[in-house]
Amino acid sequence: MIGDWLQGPYVYAVYKSYGFDLNQQAILFVTGFLSSGIFGTIVGSAADKYGRKKFCLLFALLYSASCFIVLSKDFYILLMGRILSGISTSLLFSVFESWMVSEHFSRGFSPSLLSETFSQAIYGNGLVAIFSGLLANWLVKQFGVTSPFLAAIGFFALASLVITFTWKENYGSKSDKDDATEASSLSRALKVISNDSRVLAVGAVQSLFEASMYTFVFFWGPFLEIHHKSEEAIMIGSLIYKNLSGPRNVPLSDIAQITFLVAGVSLLIPLLYPNETTLFCFFTLFEMTCGLYFPTVGTLRAKVVPENLRATISNLFRVPLNMFVVALLVTDLKISTRCLLCSVLLIIAFVWSFALPEVNNL
């Protein structure tokens, strides 16, 4: 995650320094989301068949290539980099979790510890984000705006070494490895989603929340970055989740309902009272709900998504959210209208969350 956090905030700055206008920048970003939506399902099903460890290594390779391509000022070469970045993002948010959940159960660890793992991961991610922000800021001042991308390659290489020498391989299942094609994996994954209301509910709330989150980050992220409160808010959210799911043993579906309702309201209030103080307070509150969301939905996915199709289904969940973000990027809407649409999506997620399975920390 250090590699991802290092260069993410500087993509805009690099494109701007190369002299690209807003339309060209929008095309580059849309390409990344389209790539994630189109190729994500393919790489997800391939990871279940050929091995999650291999595709974690592929992630490091592709993301490194996309970072190196940023050094080019050629628009079409940068488009290729955005395609690689989109594929990498799909891998980042699916195969690592799939590998971890499979390894957790294969080692005989208690299911209740999985929720703790997700909580610690989100908290640690906040610490990593703070460190990465400080390091990236220093690198930019010393070596220029492209330096965080080169530094990210080094961290991806280090991650590859750790994965290569310390991780075991795992697959969707033995039969999937030997017999299934990517097309059949996708077909079976779609069948599971349509036949299991629990899986559909988890996928629906994931798509709705993350579509709102990515749109929020795209249009409002720089505001919070100025105040350096985004990472701290996410960490606080993860600690709240740990307290609710642990000592209080609140059902995950209840935590999800609280999360989606608060998130929806936090994007709606600033539209009614548009001043800087309100924006800061409620947007920070939204970031806090992100810290609640990731361990909650991650644990629910581990509970209901079949092991043999975990990466495939995880990437299928990402298709609607990528398409929604693309739609908002290419349409000429006011930022306030986009914010309202995100709030509506979150309220829909709140309603749909009542269909989530009622489980207590697995």
- Of 314, 311, 210, nearest to 263 (Cα)? 210
Residue 194: burial class (beta carbons within 10 Å; 0-12, 13-18, 19+): exposed
State how far Cα 145 lies from the chain centre: 24
Residue 107: burial class (beta carbons within 10 Å; 0-12, 13-18, 19+): exposed
The fold adopted by the segment(s) 2-355 is Growth Hormone; Chain: A; (1.20.1250)
What is d(CA 83, CA 72) in angstroms, rounded to the nearest whole number?
15
pLDDT for 34 equals 86
The CA-to-CA distance between both ends of the chain, in Å, stands at 26
What is d(CA 71, CA 62) in angstroms, rounded to the nearest whole number?
15
Q: Taking each helix axis from N to C terminus, what angle separates 22-50 and 95-106, rounded to the nearest 10 degrees?
A: 30
pLDDT for 223 equals 52
SS3 170: coil
What is d(CA 66, CA 47) in angstroms, rounded to the nearest whole number?
20
Instruction: Indicate the DSSP class of residue 9.
Output: G
> Do the Cβ atoms of 140 and 16 come closer than 8 Å?
no
Alpha helix positions (H), 70-181:
75-92, 95-106, 112-143, 147-166, 174-179
Walk along the chain (362 residues) and give the pLDDT tens digit of each residue: 788 878 877 787 888 888 888 778 878 888 888 888 888 878 888 888 888 899 999 999 999 999 999 999 999 999 999 999 989 988 888 888 888 888 888 888 887 788 788 888 888 877 887 788 788 888 888 998 899 899 999 999 999 999 999 999 988 755 555 555 556 777 888 888 888 889 999 999 999 998 888 888 776 655 555 445 567 788 888 888 888 877 777 888 899 999 999 999 998 898 888 787 888 888 889 889 988 998 888 888 888 888 778 878 888 888 888 888 888 777 777 878 888 899 999 999 999 999 887 766 54
Domain boundaries defined on the chain: 2-355
Residue 273 region by backbone torsions, left for phi larger than 0, else alpha for psi between -120 and 50, else beta: beta
What is d(CA 219, CA 161) in angstroms, rounded to the nearest whole number?
36
